[in-house]
Amino acid sequence: MSRLASPLSLSPRAGAWRSPEASVIPNLHLPMRSLEVKNRTSVDDIKGLRLITAIKTPYLPDGRFDLEAYDSLIHMQIVNGAEGVVVGGTTGEGHLMSWDEHIMLIGHTVNCFGARIKVIGNTGSNSTREAIHATEQGSPSACMAPFTSIPIMERHPSKAWFLISRPSFRWVPTIIYNVPSRTGQDIPPVVVNRVSWNPNMAGVKECVGNDRVREYVEGGVTIWSGNDDQCHDARWDCGAVGVISVTSNLVPGLMHELMFEGKNPALNSKVMPLIEWLFGEPNPIGLNTALAQLGVIRPIFRLPYVPLRLRRGSSLLE
């Protein structure tokens, strides 16, 4: 065993405790320093991202994160032109994680890939206090843009949501996530317009539709489409800066082409059957099943998610 690999020891033979070299050689085992430039993410850095992947979180048989498979997924995004990843979002099953897991995964992503791709950490929560805590814990390691959204299936008046949303703007660029199909409540434009003055307001992931996207763009708000089936038109007809995509977990190169290479209705039509299949059941059930069948991840599912059931007559990945 080399000296660098020696464990800590305090034995009668040694006579005295001796620190391993790893503890006294600066940064021998650390992938980064907390003040490195790659952690310095500005609002403008976030506003210019055209393809952001809502990245899947894979698991080992014992339920822990499969970081080897996760790193391969991130690497595939980088190689194929994705500019950012959302860590622990809906697709990444952040709502099924403990906060310790959540913050660890954000930190791991920044440590390993922060120099090559922008990291956006989901720090939304049903509890405002928890959301603030998560943003405080995540931002020092990532200086990432956190997601913030209405608490799931809990109704709040617009003024209350305005107060809920404000704490996340204190530290880092923030993306508001409007997904009424999951939260049970739309974030109306009056609320978004009231917070858009904040210098840390990066923009909105909007899932209501392209009419709303166009309205925001005309008002000067940065928008990402949250609907893969509408993102081509949102980008090229409605002025969205890009998409925060589920489908790009599978075909990042094609989604990159749709977001970067100009209008391409033919390619958009070819991708549409895959998108429709992925969202035939609530996300991320379809994506989890497809990635497992392709051998990209192990077929391990965190409850309540289970594999997509076989449907007769389907021609895609069943």
Binding-site sequence positions for pyruvate: 91, 244
The H-or-E segment that residue 274 falls in is helix 265-278
- Mark whether 177 is an active-site residue: yes
Query: Which is nearest to 192 in space by CA: 182, 211, 181, 178?
Result: 178
Q: From the annotation, which residues make up the binding site? A: 91, 244
Distance, CA of 77 to CA of 51 (rounded, Å): 10
Decide: 109 and 71 in contact? Cβ < 8 Å. Answer: no
Chain centroid offset of residue 96 CA: 14
Distance, in Å, from the CA atom of 29 to the CA atom of 9, rounded to the nearest integer, reads: 19
The answer to whether residues 302 and 56 touch, using CB atoms and an 8 Å cutoff, is: no
Please indicate whether residue 56 is annotated as part of the active site. no
The residue annotated as part of the active site, out of 56, 177, 263, 305, is 177
Nearest CA-CA partner of 279 in 247, 257, 250, 311: 247
DSSP 42: -
Cα 245 from chain centre: 9
For residue 121, give the H/E element and its range. strand 118-121
For the chain, the 3-state helix, strand and coil shares in percent, each to the nearest 5, are 40, 10, 45
Backbone region of residue 311 per phi and psi (left: phi > 0; alpha: psi in -120 to 50; beta: other values): beta
Helical pair 67-79 and 99-113, crossing angle rounded to 10 deg: 50
Angle, vertex CA 206, rays to CA 83 and CA 135, nearest 5: 65
Kindly name the residue from 56, 70, 118, 205 that is annotated as catalytic: 205
Residue closest to 22 by CA, chosen among 38, 1, 37 = 1
Catalytic site residues? 177, 205
